[in-house]
Amino acid sequence: MKLAVTAPDRLSVRTVPVPDPGDLISGLPHPAALAWVRHGEGLVGWGEAARLTLPGGPDRFTTATRLLHDIFAAADIDDQVAVPGTGPVAFGGFGFDPGSDDSVLIVPRHVLGRRDGHAWLTTIGTDQAPGPTLLRPPTAPTTLTWSDGALPAPAWESAVATAVTRIRDGHLGKVVLARDLTVHAGEPIDARVLLRRLADRFPACYTFSCAGLVGATPELLIRRTGGHIESLVLAGTTARGTTPTDDTARADRLFDSAKDREEHRYAAEMVRDALTPLCSHLHVPAEPELLTLPNLIHLASPVRGHLTADRSVLDVVAALHPTPAVAGTPTPTALDLIRELEGMDRGRYAGPVGWVDARGDGEWGIALRCAQIDGTRARLFAGCGIVADSDPAAELAEAHTKFGAMRHALQG
**Domain tally, the chain:** 1
> Per-residue pLDDT tens for 52-82?
999 999 899 999 999 999 999 999 999 999 9
Catalytic residue, chosen from 174, 342, 363, 395, is: 174
Task: Please give the Cα distance from 407 to 412 (Å, whole number).
Answer: 8
Neighbour count for residue 105 (Cβ, 10 Å): 24
Phi, psi of 375 (to 5 degrees): 65, -120
Closest CA to 84 of 47, 41, 123: 41
Full-model pTM = 0.93
Task: Please give the Cα distance from 46 to 89 (Å, whole number).
Answer: 12
> Per-residue pLDDT tens for 15-33?
999 999 999 999 899 888 9
134 has a pLDDT exceeding 60? no
Range of the domain at 213: 4-411
**Residues 123, 86: contact at Cβ < 8 Å?**
no
Catalytic residue, chosen from 41, 157, 219, 262, is: 219
Average pLDDT over residues 331-351: 96
Average pLDDT over residues 353-371: 97
Closest CA to 138 of 184, 196, 203: 196
Average pLDDT over residues 155-160: 98
DSSP 3-state percent helix, strand, coil across the chain (nearest 5): 30, 35, 35
174 is catalytic: yes
Contacts 24+ apart (CB under 8 A), 244-252: 247/297, 250/297, 251/290, 251/292, 251/297
190 has a pLDDT exceeding 80? yes
pLDDT of residue 127: 53
Which residues does residue 292 pair with via DSSP β-bridges, in sequence order?
A: 297
Task: Please give the Cα distance from 206 to 367 (Å, whole number).
Answer: 10
In the 8-state DSSP scheme, what is residue 199? Answer: H
325 has a pLDDT exceeding 90? no
CATH number for position 199: 3.60.120.10
Cis peptide before 322 (omega within 30 of 0): yes
Average pLDDT over residues 91-119: 95
Task: Please give the Cα distance from 61 to 364 (Å, whole number).
Answer: 13
Give 112 or 135, the one with higher predicted confidence.
112
Return the beta strands (E) in 185-227 as ranges: 206-210, 213-217, 220-225
259 is catalytic: no
